[in-house]
């Protein structure tokens, strides 16, 4: 099975940032001849601080994503945090993503599945790979045509994550695809003084380890200038480095 890629900034930012990232993602799709989904969030509802940037909101965010699809021809993925967002998001994007903290929320899973779009469920930081059979069942029973599962690490004490790559193998029989979230897996949650830290230098190795364990997709958040990104900068890949990272996974 040829791998897929989910690539984009953490949150919808200024138009010039969005266009720069989308243009490069579209180029990489053609360069490597692989399936690539553009990812960005219209609302980051689970930021560490009340004062952190959350995004433009549902209406403006979906319009931005629709414009990117129209201009660059990229399929889209975005996350939803509440059930009422599913129908509107499903009119625009190709894949609805369920955040890890919310992967047991039945109403959210069902609402996403009922749109008829692919549902990508991130494995919670407190669950094992085999535990994800139940979120998958909820999505399939509600009519989701395809369900993906995404590994993003498990809590390891305070302000730290560790990846048990056996989860990838455990989830493969459950889902249509198993994705490795290579950038969120290197987060240091809440460890940067009211915001999340991270170790982006480990991202390429995370991807290669996931490849060895049979991942069928890779999730990367990227930005032209990660140190000044409005969300998740410490664990994001610099946009200029994405080609080199992808090359190791496609070859």
Quick one: which of 184, 231, 178 has its CA closest to 206? Answer: 184
Q: What is the mean pLDDT of residues 29-53?
A: 86
Q: How far is CA 16 from CA 131, 200, 227, 229, 236, in A?
A: 41, 23, 17, 13, 18
155-179 confidence digits (pLDDT tens): 888 888 899 999 999 999 999 999 9
List domains and CATH numbers for the chain. 4-250 (3.20.20.70)
3-class SS of residue 217: strand
State residue 196's pLDDT score: 63
Q: Say whether pLDDT at 8 is over 60.
A: yes
State residue 194's pLDDT score: 53
Q: Say whether pLDDT at 244 is over 90.
A: yes
Contact status, residue 182 vs residue 206, Cβ threshold 8 Å: yes
Q: Say whether pLDDT at 192 is over 60.
A: no
Dihedral of the CA atoms 189, 21, 16, 65 (nearest 10)? -80
207-219 confidence digits (pLDDT tens): 999 999 999 999 9
The pTM is what?
0.93
Contact status, residue 20 vs residue 232, Cβ threshold 8 Å: no
The pLDDT mean for the chain works out to 93
pLDDT above 70 covers a percentage of the chain that reads: 95
Q: Say whether pLDDT at 97 is over 90.
A: yes
CA within 13 Å, CB half, 105: 19
Quick one: which of 27, 83, 86 has its CA closest to 62? Answer: 86
What phi and psi, each to the nearest 5 degrees, are found at residue 127?
-120, 160
């Amino acid at each position: 099975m040829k791998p897929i890629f989910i690539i984009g900034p953490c949150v919808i930012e200024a138009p010039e940032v969005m266009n720069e990232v989308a243009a490069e993602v579209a180029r990489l799709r053609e360069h490597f001849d692989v399936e690539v989904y553009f990812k960005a969030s219209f609302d980051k509802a689970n930021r560490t601080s009340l004062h952190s940037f959350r995004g433009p909101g549902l209406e403006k965010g979906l319009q931005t994503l629709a414009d990117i699809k129209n201009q660059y021809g990229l399929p889209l993925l975005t996350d939803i945090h509440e059930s009422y967002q599913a129908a509107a998001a499903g009119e625009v994007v190709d894949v609805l993503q369920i955040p890890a903290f919310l992967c047991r929320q039945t109403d959210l899973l069902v609402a996403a599945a009922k749109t008829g779009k692919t549902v990508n469920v991130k494995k919670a930081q407190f669950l094992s790979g085999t535990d994800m059979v139940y979120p998958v069942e909820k999505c399939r029973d509600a009519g989701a045509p395809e369900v993906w599962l995404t590994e993003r690490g498990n809590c390891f004490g305070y302000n730290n994550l560790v990846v048990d790559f056996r989860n990838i193998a455990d989830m493969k029989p459950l889902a249509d695809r198993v994705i490795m979230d290579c950038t969120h897996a290197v987060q240091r949650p809440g460890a940067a003084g009211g915001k999340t830290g991270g170790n982006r230098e480990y991202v390429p190795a995370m991807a290669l380890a996931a490849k060895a364990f049979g991942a069928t997709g890779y999730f990367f958040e990227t930005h032209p200038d990660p140190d000044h990104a409005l969300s998740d900068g410490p664990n994001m890949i610099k946009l200029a480095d994405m080609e080199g990272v992808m090359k190791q996974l496609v070859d």
